[in-house]
Chains A and B, each alone.
Chain A
Amino acid sequence: MADNTPAGSTTDGAIQVGGPQQPIDARVSAPASYDVADFPVPHGREEEWRFTPLERLRGLHDGTAAGKGVDGGVKVEVSAPAGVTVETVGRDDARLGRAGKPVDRVAAQAYSSFEKASVVSIPKDAVLTEPVTISVHGEGGVAFGHQVIEVGAFAEAVVVLDHTGDTTLAANVEFLIGDGAKLTVVSIQDWDATAVHAAQHTALIGRDASFKSVVVTFGGDLVRLHPRVVYGAPGGEAELYGLYFTDKGQHQEHRLFVDHDTPHCRSNVAYKGALQGQDAHAVWIGDVLIRAEAEGTDTYELNRNLVLTDGARVDSVPNLEIETGEIVGAGHASATGRFDDEQLFYLMARGIPADEARRLVVRGFFAELVQQIGIPELEERLIAKIEAELEASVA
C-alpha cells in the first residue's frame, strides 16, 4: 500500500532550526496569564483552537459556563499512603500557581473560577510503595478544578488521576518535582460519553529529577488536554506517554509542549491512538522548543494513529523548533495508518476470524507503548479497556 494515510486525516509537521519564525510560545493568541480577562474569547480560527469544536465546550471558552455560577460538579477524593499530606485549600494559598501560568482561555477560566484546590505533598526522601489516587468523579454540571502535586527532593511517587462520570470540567493540575525526585503521573480519562474535559497539566522539573506522564483517554464527548513540561534546573528528564481510543463522535485532543529552556535535559514523547466510528476525531499537537540556552538537550517525539473504520479523522502536528546546534539529539515522527479491508482479507485468508484479526492489529499497535509505561497493574487495565472498546465496536 503506497499511500496508507486515510482520507480526511492530516499529518503535518515541521522542524525549524533558528530563523526568524515566531517561537512556539509566541504563536498563541495571548501571553500566558492567571486571569481569564487577559484572553480574548476564541472564535475558532486561532492556531491553538482551530481543531477544537468550540460549540461543544459548553461555554468553558466564552465565560457562559462560569457565568452560571455552578461549582461542585465533580467529587474529588484523594487516597494517599501514610506520610503524604493531603489538604484542601482556598484560592489564596501561596502554593498554587507555581508550576506555570495558564496558557489558554479555558485554563485561565479554570484558574479564575475554582473555589477549592487540592494540595498533595510528598515529603522529601519519601519513597512511596503505594500510589496516591486522586479520583475525580463527575456528577453533572460545571466544575472548575485545581490540583497541586508537590514531590520533595529525592522522593519517589506514583500518582493516579482517575476521571469518571459526567461533567463539564476545566482544570489545572500542577506537578512540582523536587531535585532528584521521581514522579509518575497516570491521568485516565474514563468519562461517560457526555463529559467535557479541558485541562492543563504543567510539570516543573527540578535538578536531575524525572517525570513520567501517562495520559490515557477513552471517554468523554470532548477531551482537550494540554500537558506541559518546564525544566527548573539542568539534568531533568521527562517521558510523556499517551494512549487514546477515540470512538464515534468523540473529540480527543492532546496538545503537548516541552519547553527546553535549561541545558542538559531530556524529553521523550510517545502518543498512540486508535480511532473508530463516524466523526471520531483525534488531534495531537507536539510542540517541542529547544531554546538557545538549552545546550545538551536530547529530545524525541512520536505520534502514531490507527484508523479502524471510515469516517474518523486524525490531525497530527509535530513541531520541533531548535535555537541551538549544541544538542545531543532532536527528532520527531508522526504517522497515521488505517486498518482496511485488504488487511482484514489478508489475515482472514490465513484462517484468522475477522474480530480476532482486528484485535490482533490493535493490540499489536499499542503493545510497545503499554510496555514502555512500565506499570504492570495499569497494563492489565489498559489492555482490558482496549479489548472492551473493540468489543463495543463489533457489537
Chain B
Amino acid sequence: MATLEIHDLHVSVEAENGPREILKGVDLTVKQGETHAIMGPNGSGKSTLAYSLAGHPKYTITGGTVTLDGEDVLEMSVDERARAGVFLAMQYPVEVPGVSVSNFLRTSATAIRGEAPKLRTWVKEVKGAMERLNMDPAFAERNVNEGFSGGEKKRHEILQLELLKPKIAILDETDSGLDVDALRQVSEGVNRVRETGEVGTLLITHYTRILRYIKPDFVHVFSGGRIVESGGAELADKLESEGYEAYQTKGGVTA
C-alpha cells in the first residue's frame, strides 16, 4: 500500500531580503485510500506544501524528508515524481500554446505508464472520462488551458487525475473559482478516483464548501507553516462555524 510520509519539512523561498521560511516543520502521512483535507487561511503555506511536494523549482527544501514507499521524493526531478505516482492538480493550471489537449494527455499517459497506450482503448478511455466530467469532445482539440474558463481548467485537471491514476493526488484549491455545478462535477470526478481505493488524496482548500461533496477521513488545520491541529471530519464543521481566527493567533500569522 502506497504511503507518502512527510517528516519535519522546512521550505523557503527567495524573497527580496533573503530567503524566507514558509514551511516550518510539516509532519503528515497519507496512505493509499485515505483522504486528508488541509485547511487554512490565506498565506498559511498550504500551496507551498503542494508545490514543494511536486518539486517546483521556486521552493527550496531546507530540512526534513518526504518519502513515497520509502523512496526519497526530494531527490527526484519533477517528472520523476510524477512517474513515481505523485500528481498535483494545480490551482492555476498553465497555458501551453501549440499543444492540443489530446496530444498532451497521450504524451503524459505514455510517460507515466512507461508505454504508449493502445490507440483504440485510449480513445475510448479519454472519451469516457470526458463525458463523465461533462466536457465537450471538441475540448480535446484545443490547446492546453489556452482560453479555458476557470471551470474548464479544473475539469481538465481532474480529467488528468482520472487518466493518470496516481498513488498520491494533491488537489490544490481545486474548488476555487468554481460555481456550484462545476464544483459538484469536479468533486464527483475526484470521488470516482477515490472510490477505486488506490489513491491517497491531499485536498487543500480554504473553504469547507468542497467537503460537502468530498468527505475527508482526516482534517488538518494549517497555520504559520505547519499543521496546528488534526482531527476527523467534525473538525471541518468547527472551522465552518468558527473560522480560522483562533488558529491565526496561535500560529502567529498575520494574514
**Quick check: is B96 within 8 A (CB to CB) of the other chain?**
yes
| A306-B97, A346-B90 given; A360·B82 CB < 8 A | no
- Which residue of B83, B95, B99 contacts A364 across the interface (Cβ within 8 Å)? B99
Contacts of A343 in B (CB 8 A): 94-96
Task: Name the CB-closest residue of A to B166.
Answer: A351
- Which residue of A1, A353, A366 contacts B111 across the interface (Cβ within 8 Å)? A353
| A1-B94, A345-B94, A346-B90 given; A352·B99 CB < 8 A | no
**Quick check: is B249 within 8 A (CB to CB) of the other chain?**
no
Contacts of B111 in A (CB 8 A): 350-353, 356
Looking at the assembled complex, report how far the CB atom of B226 sits from the nearest CB atom of chain A, in whole angstroms.
Answer: 24
- Residues of A153-176 at the interface with B, using a CB-CB cut-off of 8 Å, are none
Question: A364 near B108 (CB under 8 angstroms)?
Answer: no
Interface flags for B49-91 (1: CB within 8 Å of A; 0: not) read: 0000011110000000000000000000111011100011010
**Quick check: is A392 within 8 A (CB to CB) of the other chain?**
no
| A350-B160, A365-B98 given; A345·B78 CB < 8 A | yes
**Quick check: is A367 within 8 A (CB to CB) of the other chain?**
yes
Question: B99 near A341 (CB under 8 angstroms)?
Answer: no
Contacts of A365 in B (CB 8 A): 97-98
Question: B107 near A349 (CB under 8 angstroms)?
Answer: no
User: How many angstroms from the CA of A342 to the CA of B97 in the assembled complex?
Assistant: 12
**Quick check: is B203 within 8 A (CB to CB) of the other chain?**
no
User: How many angstroms from the CA of A342 to the CA of B95 in the assembled complex?
Assistant: 9
Contacts of B104 in A (CB 8 A): 347, 350, 360
Task: Name the CB-closest residue of B to A364.
Answer: B98
Task: Name the CB-closest residue of B to A352.
Answer: B111
User: How many angstroms from the CA of A117 to the CA of B160 in the assembled complex?
Assistant: 60
A-B contact list, 5 entries, CB within 8 Å = A346-B96, A347-B104, A351-B79, A356-B107, A365-B97
Looking at the assembled complex, report how far the CB atom of A304 sits from the nearest CB atom of chain B, in whole angstroms.
Answer: 8
Question: A354 near B79 (CB under 8 angstroms)?
Answer: yes
Looking at the assembled complex, report how far the CB atom of B9 sits from the nearest CB atom of chain A, in whole angstroms.
Answer: 18
Best-buried of A342, A354, A362 by chain B (most CB within 10 Å): A342
Task: Name the CB-closest residue of B to A344.
Answer: B78
Complex A-B, nearest 5 residue pairs according to Cβ-Cβ distance, in ascending order: A365-B98, A364-B98, A351-B111, A351-B82, A348-B78
Give the size category of B's interface with A. Answer: 20 to 34
**Quick check: is A127 within 8 A (CB to CB) of the other chain?**
no
- Interface majority SS (helix, strand, loop, mixed), chain A: helix
Contacts of A362 in B (CB 8 A): 98
Contacts of A351 in B (CB 8 A): 79, 82-83, 108, 111-112, 164
**Quick check: is A128 within 8 A (CB to CB) of the other chain?**
no
Task: Name the CB-closest residue of A to B103.
Answer: A364
Task: Name the CB-closest residue of B to A338.
Answer: B97
User: How many angstroms from the CA of A363 to the CA of B111 in the assembled complex?
Assistant: 18
User: How many angstroms from the CA of A356 to the CA of B82 in the assembled complex?
Assistant: 15
Looking at the assembled complex, report how far the CB atom of A306 sits from the nearest CB atom of chain B, in whole angstroms.
Answer: 7
**Quick check: is A4 within 8 A (CB to CB) of the other chain?**
yes
Best-buried of A4, A306, A348 by chain B (most CB within 10 Å): A348
**Quick check: is B185 within 8 A (CB to CB) of the other chain?**
no
Question: A361 near B160 (CB under 8 angstroms)?
Answer: no
Contacts of B99 in A (CB 8 A): 360-361, 364
Looking at the assembled complex, report how far the CB atom of B41 sits from the nearest CB atom of chain A, in whole angstroms.
Answer: 25
| A341-B57, A350-B82 given; A306·B77 CB < 8 A | no
- Residues of A361-388 at the interface with B, using a CB-CB cut-off of 8 Å, are 361-367
**Quick check: is B176 within 8 A (CB to CB) of the other chain?**
no
User: How many angstroms from the CA of A352 to the CA of B94 in the assembled complex?
Assistant: 15
Looking at the assembled complex, report how far the CB atom of A392 sits from the nearest CB atom of chain B, in whole angstroms.
Answer: 20
Contacts of B96 in A (CB 8 A): 343, 346-347, 361
**Quick check: is B93 within 8 A (CB to CB) of the other chain?**
yes
Question: A353 near B98 (CB under 8 angstroms)?
Answer: no
User: How many angstroms from the CA of A352 to the CA of B99 in the assembled complex?
Assistant: 13
Question: B77 near A348 (CB under 8 angstroms)?
Answer: yes
**Quick check: is A249 within 8 A (CB to CB) of the other chain?**
no
Contacts of A361 in B (CB 8 A): 96-99
Interface flags for A34-59 (1: CB within 8 Å of B; 0: not) read: 00000000000000000000000000
Looking at the assembled complex, report how far the CB atom of B181 sits from the nearest CB atom of chain A, in whole angstroms.
Answer: 26
**Quick check: is B100 within 8 A (CB to CB) of the other chain?**
yes
User: How many angstroms from the CA of A352 to the CA of B195 in the assembled complex?
Assistant: 27
Interface flags for A1-30 (1: CB within 8 Å of B; 0: not) read: 100100000000000000000000000000
User: How many angstroms from the CA of A343 to the CA of B146 in the assembled complex?
Assistant: 12
Contacts of A367 in B (CB 8 A): 98
Looking at the assembled complex, report how far the CB atom of A366 sits from the nearest CB atom of chain B, in whole angstroms.
Answer: 8
Looking at the assembled complex, report how far the CB atom of B53 sits from the nearest CB atom of chain A, in whole angstroms.
Answer: 10
**Quick check: is A140 within 8 A (CB to CB) of the other chain?**
no
Best-buried of A1, A341, A351, A360 by chain B (most CB within 10 Å): A351
Looking at the assembled complex, report how far the CB atom of B56 sits from the nearest CB atom of chain A, in whole angstroms.
Answer: 6
| A349-B82, A349-B88, A350-B112 given; A360·B94 CB < 8 A | no
**Quick check: is A277 within 8 A (CB to CB) of the other chain?**
no
**Quick check: is A63 within 8 A (CB to CB) of the other chain?**
no
User: How many angstroms from the CA of A356 to the CA of B87 in the assembled complex?
Assistant: 19
User: How many angstroms from the CA of A350 to the CA of B110 in the assembled complex?
Assistant: 10
Contacts of B87 in A (CB 8 A): 349
- Which residue of B56, B83, B95, B112 contacts A345 across the interface (Cβ within 8 Å)? B56
Task: Name the CB-closest residue of A to B94.
Answer: A346
**Quick check: is A131 within 8 A (CB to CB) of the other chain?**
no
Question: A352 near B79 (CB under 8 angstroms)?
Answer: yes
Task: Name the CB-closest residue of B to A354.
Answer: B79
Question: A4 near B107 (CB under 8 angstroms)?
Answer: no
Interface flags for B154-169 (1: CB within 8 Å of A; 0: not) read: 0000001000100000
User: How many angstroms from the CA of A365 to the CA of B100 in the assembled complex?
Assistant: 10
Looking at the assembled complex, report how far the CB atom of B106 sits from the nearest CB atom of chain A, in whole angstroms.
Answer: 10
Contacts of B57 in A (CB 8 A): 341, 345
Looking at the assembled complex, report how far the CB atom of A256 sits from the nearest CB atom of chain B, in whole angstroms.
Answer: 22
Known: A4-B95, A4-B97, A350-B104. 11 other contacts (CB 8 A): A345-B54, A345-B56, A346-B90, A348-B77, A349-B78, A349-B82, A350-B164, A351-B111, A352-B107, A356-B107, A363-B98
